Every structure is written in C-alpha cells, then in structure tokens.
C-alpha cells in the first residue's frame, strides 16, 4: 500500500513532465500599468455573483464565482479583465480547464513595478486573442461549463509566479506562488501610476502537448473553435471527435470527471 501510494504520484509526475512543452505564447510586450483592479464578473464589485468556492493552499488554487440564485443563470454571462494588461494565453486547454484566458498585469506599488497573471477558466467563448492589449473591464469571454463538464462558473486565479500558466505543478501551490484572488483585487481597487507603458515579460510557461493525458478529453467532447491562429497545428489530434456535442440545456451538466483546478 505504502509503495503504491508513493509510486503512483511519481509516475503521474513523470508522465506530465514528458508531455509539457514551452508555450508558443507571446514574446515580451509593452503593456499599460493598471490604474486599479475590479472583480472579473459584474465589475467593479461582482453584484449578483458570489464566491461559491474559495482558495485553498495545496488544493483549489483559485476562486469559483457563480450567480446568485443558481449557477445556471450565469451561463454565458460576460467575464471581464480585472485590470489593464496583455493577453498571454487564450486557447482551449481541454480537460479540467477548457477555454482559458490569462492576462499579464503590471502595476506600481511602493514605487516598484510588479507583475501578476490573472487566469479565467472554463469559458464558453473567448473574445480576445494572444498578444492583445486589454483594458480594465474589457470583456474577455463568457462563463461556461468546460465543455459541459461542470455547472456554469468562472474559475479565477491570480498568480504571483509568472511561470505557472495552466501548470499548477510549476508553482508552490500556496501563497508564495498565488494571490488570494478577491482579496488581491479589493486591496488594489484604485492605484496611482496607471496607464504607463512598461515592458512586460514574455510568457514562458509550459503547456500540455497533444500527448498530454489531459488531451484524453478529445475522446468525449468535441474541440471548441480556438481563437488562436495556430490552433490548426493540433487539429490532427482531434480527428476522433467528429460529432458536435453542444452545450445543451442548463439542467444537463455532466457529472464531474475531474476536479476543477
């Protein structure tokens, strides 16, 4: 028993490490510093939404936001950029994540420039492209279900560690690598020094390759149309999914096969 419990995680880690590749995301960009942060749903303060699940070190590394009166009401509601920034990831990462957008933000605090990534997952649609500059409150996409896998909600993270991307194993899975998302926002509603152009580091995190176990998802859901121009590169891996499996009515969400990241 003891041996198996040690060997299995090692095997999983080994498999994951062999199937992650550097992101072909944007190179260094110029972006505008944030003049403040808002919540990503119903900005600025998330009226009509509540946090159904919070951040937990070593576990759920973000917050889940749903609509008052039932999460189904939130389906396809807009998701907004929490501050000025540049889109460093906007694509379908498949199982557990679905459509993901990551925005890299710069802001000035205590006379220093700081950087963080905000992550928005399980989106129904993505409305931005990688490399695009976005302003605070700009719509990034809509609340989704990760291809029908979860009830509609926004999974929202803020990364201190810019190397994480969608690979939680790249960080420490605690507050050394992450901010508490809504606490971070509420502490920085209005910032001095916004609107300045600053060089923003390139996105160099690892992404799952088509051989990655997460891509097993292609066997039970059809790929979403990716807004990323290079999406055709991975289309060969999606040959098995020919039939379109649309999100149907709101009361037919599939049972979770995976834990929401």
Minimum CB separation from Zn ion for residue 22, in Å? 26
Residues 46-65 that bind Zn ion (CB under 5 A): 64
Q: What are phi and psi of 139, to 5 degrees?
A: -75, 130
> Which 3 state secondary structure label does DSSP give 51?
strand
Minimum CB separation from Zn ion for residue 52, in Å? 9
Minimum CB separation from Zn ion for residue 123, in Å? 13
Minimum CB separation from Zn ion for residue 135, in Å? 26
Among 91, 155, 168, 224, binds Zn ion (CB under 5 A): 155
Taking CB atoms, the residue at the shortest distance from Zn ion is 155
Which one, 35 or 260, has the nearer CB to Zn ion?
260
Q: What number of CA atoms fall less than 13 Å from residue 171's CA on the CB side?
A: 25
Which one, 66 or 207, has the nearer CB to Zn ion?
66
Which one, 117 or 260, has the nearer CB to Zn ion?
260
Among 35, 38, 157, 260, binds Zn ion (CB under 5 A): 260
Segment contacting Zn ion by CB under 5 A, of 38-46, 70-78, 152-160, 239-247: 152-160
**Which residue is listed with tokens 């803020």?**
158
Which one, 35 or 117, has the nearer CB to Zn ion?
117
Contact 215, 95 (CB under 8 A): yes
Contact 237, 217 (CB under 8 A): no
Which one, 34 or 123, has the nearer CB to Zn ion?
123
Which residues in the chain belong to E strands, given as ranges?
20-22, 29-32, 49-53, 63-67, 78-80, 85-92, 99-109, 112-123, 125-126, 133-134, 139-142, 154-159, 178-179, 197-200, 206-208
Contact 164, 117 (CB under 8 A): yes
How far from 23 is each of 18, 26, 100, 138, CA to CA, in Å? 14, 9, 14, 24
157 binding Zn ion? (CB under 5 A): no
Taking CB under 5 A as the rule, which mask of x and - marks residues 177-216 in contact with Zn ion?
A: ----------------------------------------
Minimum CB separation from Zn ion for residue 233, in Å? 28
Site residues, Zn ion (CB under 5 A): 64, 155, 260
């Amino acid at each position: 028993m003891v041996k198996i419990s040690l060997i299995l995680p090692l095997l999983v880690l080994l498999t994951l490490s062999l199937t992650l590749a550097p992101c072909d995301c944007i190179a260094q960009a110029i972006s505008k510093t944030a003049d403040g942060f808002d919540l990503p749903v119903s900005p600025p303060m998330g009226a009509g939404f509540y946090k159904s699940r919070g951040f937990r070190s070593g576990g759920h590394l973000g917050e889940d936001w749903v609509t008052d009166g039932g999460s189904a009401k939130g389906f396809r509601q807009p998701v907004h950029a929490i501050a000025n920034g540049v889109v460093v990831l906007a694509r379908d990462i498949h199982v557990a994540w679905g459509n993901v957008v990551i925005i890299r933000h710069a802001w000035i605090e205590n006379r220093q420039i700081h950087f963080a990534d905000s992550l928005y997952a399980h989106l129904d649609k993505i409305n931005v492209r990688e490399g695009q500059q976005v302003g605070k409150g700009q719509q990034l996409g809509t609340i989704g279900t990760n291809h029908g896998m979860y009830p509609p909600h926004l999974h929202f993270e803020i990364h201190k560690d810019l190397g994480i991307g969608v690979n939680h194993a790249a960080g420490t899975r605690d507050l050394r690598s992450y901010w508490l998302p809504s606490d971070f926002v509420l502490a920085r509603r209005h910032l001095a020094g916004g609107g300045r152009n600053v060089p923003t580091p390139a996105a160099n995190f690892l992404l799952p390759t088509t051989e990655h176990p997460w891509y097993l998802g292609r066997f039970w859901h059809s790929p979403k149309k990716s807004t990323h121009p290079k999406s055709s590169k991975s289309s060969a891996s999606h040959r098995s999914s020919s039939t379109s499996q649309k999100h149907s009515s709101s009361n037919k969400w599939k049972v979770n096969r995976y834990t929401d990241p």
